[in-house]
Amino acid sequence: MAELLNQSCEACKIGAPTLSNEEINNLMSEITDWNLITEPINQLKKVFNFNDYQSGVTFLNSVANMADAEDHHPEITLEWGKVTILWWSHKIQGLHKNDFICASKTDSLYLEN
């Protein structure tokens, strides 16, 4: 996780290659408890649990600030007691190393809350 956590996202352009299954499997071992969603496209998904609504809002805002700094933006769903995050690269309709970098940073933000 530390290796991904210390990296920054690179610009991802339309037509950039998505990660191969082997690359995905290798990177999955570097993030904890993220699920690989394969339909309709490859995405990383994780649900983060909280004891109240406001803690989820605070976490959501910290993820949004990190995403803006990385210029890589997830789908975020806020509910009472949980926040669901989906990372994938919109421009290439699949997974890029950026998604794993941001998943690692998301985990770090959760541990700080």
CA–CA gap between residue 46 and residue 34 (Å, rounded)? 5
pLDDT in tens, 69-79: 999 999 999 99
pLDDT in tens, 30-81: 999 999 999 999 999 999 999 999 999 999 999 999 999 999 999 999 999 9
**Quick one: pLDDT at residue 12?**
76
**Quick one: pLDDT at residue 113?**
75
pLDDT at residue 13 greater than cutoff 70: yes
> What is the CB-side half-sphere exposure of residue 11 using CA atoms within 13 A?
2
Mean pLDDT score of the chain? 92
CA–CA gap between residue 113 and residue 98 (Å, rounded)? 23
pTM value is 0.92
CA–CA gap between residue 32 and residue 82 (Å, rounded)? 17
CA–CA gap between residue 72 and residue 64 (Å, rounded)? 10
pLDDT at residue 1 greater than cutoff 60: no
Q: What residues contact residue 59 under an 8 Å CB cut-off, 6+ apart?
A: 48, 50, 83, 109, 110, 113
- State percent of the chain over pLDDT 70: 98
Q: At what angle do helices 97-112 and 21-28 cross, to 10 degrees?
A: 20
Query: What domains does the chain contain, in order, with CATH numbers?
Result: 19-112 (3.30.1360.20)
